[in-house]
A and B are shown apart, each in its own frame.
Chain A
Amino acid sequence: MQASKTIRLTAKYAGAALFGLFFLVNTKAANHLTTDTSKHHLPFVQQEIDNPLVLPKGFSYAIVAENVGRVRHIAVTPKGDLYAKLARPINGKGIFKLVDTNNDGKYDTSFGFGNYGGTGLAIKNGYLYASNDQEVFRYELDKQYDVVNLGKPERIVTGLINRRQHESKSIALDDKGHIYVNIGAYANACQEKDRSKGSPGKMPCPILDSAGGIWQFSVDLPNQSYKEGIRYATGLRNVVGLDWNQSSKSLFVMQHGRDQLYDNWPALFTQQQSAELPSECMYEVKKGDDAGWPYIFYDHIQKKKILAPEYGGDGVKEGGKDAINPTVAFPGHLAPNGLLFYTGNQFPAKYKNGAFIAFHGSWNRAPLPQKGYFVAFVPFKNGKPSGEWEIFADGFAGEPEIKSPRQAKHRPCGLAQGPDGSLYVSDDNKGFIYKITYKN
């Protein structure tokens, strides 16, 4: 059955210096919605003028898709098509390919497949990789970067721990045929009673044998699990954003730091300290590295690894002699969900090889105001940070102050680089895709 209706596309551009520039484009398009095939036009709707993003001078952006669903990680093909992984499937489809069929700069058609929700998604050497919360699949791509066999992905990893908390399995790939998979810890701080006031930490933390780290698998073998994989790095509570750095040839990850220092240890931490600590850390991880969770957390104010209160710490005592130091330490609870090292040529030289981080936004700063909900940037030279981090794209939340996370209109989650060097940002709240470009 075919239905036809008018779809109104709202196209919006805005620059840092030029918020008021909006182009409204109304167009008529046939809407092909059928029950058994997934190809259809995107459910664009005419909407109220959305909250503008704030970008550095010379940058502008376009909303290239709306209402796609809970879009987690994304990848853009050399043709400019975009693959999006949804946290929860829509009509049984958990991956959507977005295509701009009329070359107006907006995605107008989507095609869904993969009957599972999840977070991880990446394109590498002719394959599309995607994960649910226990498994990783790959799909062969043809020369047009279309999936060759939609219904039959190869299951390359299976049986990973999914115990509700920190369940998403993010992925990154190197150039030597390895895939790196985050297996988040199913706890906040490995306490005897999770998230309970005063409950001590388990010693040793039994979670670390099968979670709380990054596991390495081969891209070519089917149905690998713990036995076939390598625990590449441990002591990482939960990583959602991770990327292989092509200039340093190493893996970088963004850890979500532990919650509730004040709630669970009010005699040791103030609410203010608990809002700011621990740091959200970027780590460069090499094989065998330990970042120290749950025994320590990083404090960017003291610039020290601090013994966790669950293990006898008081907010001052140091710990983790063998734990690696962070590459960059951000304020607490900002929730880094996307990491991308920029290799394009469109942006100014400052951005080359630097790191973009999509911060989903905090919840564990209450009763103080929440923070995050922005994309940050860290300049890099020779694989090391060459300057302080800064906010690159802000305004996603649409409110000057967020007291409660549900107030945030948009929440940055995934990042991707387009073939022309544009930066794409996904929003997993309203399903927007932003495309950020530079023109001097």
Chain B
Amino acid sequence: MFRFLFLSFCFSSTYCAQAQQSSTTPKKDISTSINKGKVVYQTHCLSCHQIDGGGVPHLNPPLAESSWANGNVQRIIQIVLKGMSDRVPIDDEYYSNSMPAFAHLSNAQIADVLTYIRQSFGNQSSAVTATEVLAVRKKMQPKHK
């Protein structure tokens, strides 16, 4: 199901080639990324999203079995880079706390932590690559710079 949605997204995306590549990354590479991502998670994410990815009811959204964490890769890369303080429902629930930006993390660190999240807490979604993070980062930068 996720793969279907993922591929559907691909057809309309400029990141299609990279995304498809990521979904077929050899297992060994994924496990390296997951292990590195776990360290990033423990340092930067666990405090709010908790040890089980369960988040905090009504304050910090869960990552476990979240349609966002398991969904559009570009959206979650952007959230990590920019932070989030919009009052929008996530899986029909509102969350009060704001998330800071983590743009100071490297593309590889962001790719690793998102891969870890998408492969942990009951999640089974595709890996995220540093190339994908870079692409979103470039797109977010103001054009005059």
Which A residues contact B (CB, under 8 angstroms)?
87, 164-167, 193-197, 199, 260, 262-263, 363-364, 366-367, 403-407, 429
User: Could you tell me the distance between the alpha carbons of A405 and B102 in the complex, rounded to whole angstroms?
Assistant: 24
Q: How far is the CB of A119 from chain B (nearest CB, A)?
A: 11
- With A405-B57, A406-B55, A406-B62 as known contacts, state yes or no: A363 contacts B50, CB within 8 Å: yes
Q: What residues make up the interface of B, taking CB atoms closer than 8 Å to A?
A: 42, 46-48, 50-52, 54-60, 62, 83, 85, 87, 96-101
B96 touches A166 (CB 8 A): yes
Bound complex: CA A200 to CA B60 (Å): 23
Interface of B is mostly: loop
Q: How far is the CA of A405 from the CA of B58 in the complex (A)?
A: 11
Asked if B47 and A193 sit within 8 Å, CB to CB, the answer is no
Q: How far is the CA of A196 from the CA of B100 in the complex (A)?
A: 5
Question: In angstroms, how far is the closest chain B Cβ from the Cβ of A188?
Answer: 8
Contact of B100 among A165, A166, A195, A367 (CB under 8 A): A195
Nearest Cβ distance between residue A406 and chain B, in whole angstroms? 4
A266 CB to nearest chain B CB (Å): 9
Interface hub of A260, A363, A367 (most chain B Cβ within 10 A): A363
A197/B85 in contact, CB under 8 A: no
Complex alpha-carbon distance, A165 and B58, angstroms: 10
Can you name the residue of chain B whose Cβ is closest to the Cβ of A198?
A: B104
Q: Are B47 and A364 in contact (CB under 8 A)?
A: yes
Minimal Cβ-Cβ distance residue in A for B53: A404
B52 and A429 contacting across the interface, CB-CB below 8 Å: no
A199 to B98, CA, bound (A): 14
Contact (Cβ within 8 A) B98 A195: yes
A364 CA to B60 CA in the complex, in Å?
A: 11
A-B contact pairs, 9 of them (CB 8 A): A87-B58, A164-B98, A194-B100, A195-B97, A363-B50, A367-B51, A404-B52, A404-B54, A405-B50
A166 to B96, CA, bound (A): 7
Query: Which of chain B's residues have a CB closer than 8 A to the CB of A87?
Result: 58
Residues of B within 8 Å of A164, CB to CB, are 85, 87, 96, 98
Nearest CB in chain B to that of A406: its residue: B54
Task: Name which of A87, A194, A405 has the most chain B CB atoms within 10 A of its CB.
Answer: A405
Partner of B60, one of A166, A167, A193, A363: A363
Nearest CB of chain A from residue B98's CB, rounded to whole Å: 5
Q: Bound complex: CA of A364 vs CA of B97, how far in Å?
A: 12
